[in-house]
Chains A and B, each alone.
Chain A
Amino acid sequence: MINISPIYATMIVQKLALYCSSYYGNDLYYLKEVTILMVNLFGEETLIEMLKKDESNNKKVTKKMGEEWKNSNGMKKKLIRISEILEKVNKSYSILNDKTIKKEERESIKFKEFSRLCTKLPYIENEFYALFVFMIQNSSIQQMNISPQFLKVLDKGNSFGGVNKPTIKSDK
């Protein structure tokens, strides 16, 4: 079991809250952030050893992942590829959500690009989720919960997960 310090634990839970509140690939961007942060907190070599020794329900996947971690088609390379896709998705998503850009402009230029990038999402392998679940199962963070205060409140005052965030009225 890997102990995660409270500061990192808070960061991870905040990112997971964003993962819960977003969708269409942008959520996966936050999951990727958590996964990579946790790989670094575990330490690559420790993680590989733990994966090889895993005895959980998913051991078939995790043991293979540990054994092939550094191979040309191993999880290390896959994580790099997944990161590249998700960085682009997040960038496009941010532009689509940028209200300072005219709506028509956002939709005509960026939506096509965003849509094209999202068609790559099914290529994100199941191992990505397996790695995330494995690291949560094997760290002290598994005992935490996601506070509603971290859940992102989306546009138009819609609230999700039971959160109602007060709005600040402008003086103008």
Chain B
Amino acid sequence: MKLIYDLINRRLDQMKDLQLNNQEYKGIWHFYQVYKICLNISGQVDDNIKFKDRLVIKLLQNPNDIRILNNLKALMSEDSFTVESVLTNLKEKEELNEIFEDFYPVNIFGVNLYDRGI
């Protein structure tokens, strides 16, 4: 599950970048994409996910609406436990310490695609 772990971290990185660039509303979109993937890894069910999705869309359409932003931030702080626990489990399970070493093109057979001119 290295790929999923990497994907989650990349999106969370972007969320942080967007927060730093005062584009928190876009960052929330990234968070909820990660959250939905995490729900399916852990097998958890969130009955309010559609409600949250609608709120995220509303926020993207009205980025200056502080009320929606604060609502979502409150929801995010609860949901971030799910994301954290999935990340921790993935890391423990597969010893993913080397994941961010960029040795692309990586392939599953250990062949360097650059050497093959691909």
Contacts and interface: CB of A to CB of B under 8 A. Distances in A.
A71 to B, nearest CB: 21
A6 B40 contact: no
Interface size class on chain A is 35 or more
Contacts of B71: none
- Specify the main secondary structure of chain A where it touches its partner: helix
B3 interface: yes
Interface string A79-106: 0000000000000000000000000000
Interface size class on chain B is 35 or more
Contact of B3 (A6, A126, A141, A162): A141
Contact of A10 (B2, B37, B118): B118
B11 interface: yes
Contact of B29 (A23, A60, A133): A23
Contact of B102 (A17, A19, A137, A147): A147
Interface in B83-104: 99-100, 102, 104
Given A10-B118, A24-B60, A122-B53, A147 B42 contact: no
A162 B13 contact: yes
A133 B43 contact: no
Interface string B94-118: 0000011010111111010100001
Contacts of A136: 1, 3-4
Interface of A: 3-4, 6-7, 9-10, 13, 16-17, 19-21, 23-24, 27, 56-61, 115, 118-119, 121-122, 126, 129-130, 132-134, 136-137, 140-151, 158-162
Interface of B: 1-4, 6-7, 10-11, 13-14, 17, 21, 26, 29-30, 33, 36-37, 39-43, 49-50, 53-54, 57, 60-61, 99-100, 102, 104-109, 111, 113, 118
Given A6-B111, A16-B3, A60-B43, 5 more contacts: A6-B105, A20-B11, A23-B33, A142-B3, A151-B10
